[in-house]
Amino acid sequence: MAVHRVGAEARLDSSEWMGREVVLKQRVVKGYRHPSLDRSLQTFRIKNEVRLMFEARRAGIAVPIIYSVDYANNRIVMEEVKGVRVKDALNELPEPKARAVCAKIGEIAARLHANDIVHGDLTTSNMLLEGERIVLIDFSLGSKTSELEDKGVDMHLLEEAFHSAHHQMSGLYEVVKDAYVRTDPHGEQVLKKVKEIEKRGRYTRKE
């Protein structure tokens, strides 16, 4: 099986469903809450994730096709993307290709934000590179909002991911930012907000 992962919030397994290769994303039920509260929270979260995937698709962003949403079992049945995580691919690619991927990442972020979709965990671990296309996954922490602050947090997380995982090739995050602003001019305001968030972060760390 290609995908098998047990995370804190969800387990993922490759499987076959109606003759298709799929990934089952099943939310892990935490035993410590009230059972019926737990159930409604899980249902809410799955609905949220599914809704954001649809919204992203409508905004022209590649996301896995959803085949079925199974509330009884807390799971989403989706297309298995035959790609590698951008996190793993980026450092192996020759520089021109890596820069092209980064430009696409910037475009994707801009499209999300222009449509008031905040991903919530916008890192290169949640992007799969399949041939030339980037498929965005894991909308479980996402929301629909026009708040600059939330969009800023998305971009701040993305920047941190680049600084920690993709620092070998310099200037890659600059490519992301350039494409972000080029795709959506409002992105300038978001990037200004990021500076504010980072200043706040430094200040808090000093205390």
Ligand X SMILES: Nc1ncnc2c1ncn2[C@@H]1O[C@H](COP(=O)(O)OP(=O)(O)O)[C@@H](O)[C@H]1O
Residues engaged in binding ligand X (CB under 6 A): 3, 5, 7, 9-10, 12, 23, 25, 64, 78-81, 85, 125-126, 128, 137-138, 140
- Residue 21 CB, nearest distance to ligand X (Å)? 9
Among ligand X, Mg ion, none, the one that 85 touches (CB under a kind-dependent 5 to 8 A) is: ligand X
**Out of 38, 116, 121, 178, which one is annotated catalytic?**
121
How near is the Cβ of 4 to ligand X at its closest, in Å? 9
Strands across the sheet containing 133-136: 84-85, 127-130, 133-136
| Token couple for 133 | 């296309």
Of 159, 163, 165, give the one whose Cα is nearest residue 106.
159
Q: Which residues contact 4 (CB under 8 A, 6 or more apart)?
A: 12, 13, 14
Task: Work out which of 126, 128, 161, 194 binds Mg ion, going by CB under 5 A.
Answer: 126
DSSP 125: G
Nearest distance from C-beta of residue 85 to ligand X, angstroms: 5
The DSSP element (H or E) to which 44 belongs, if any, is helix 35-58
Active site residues: 121
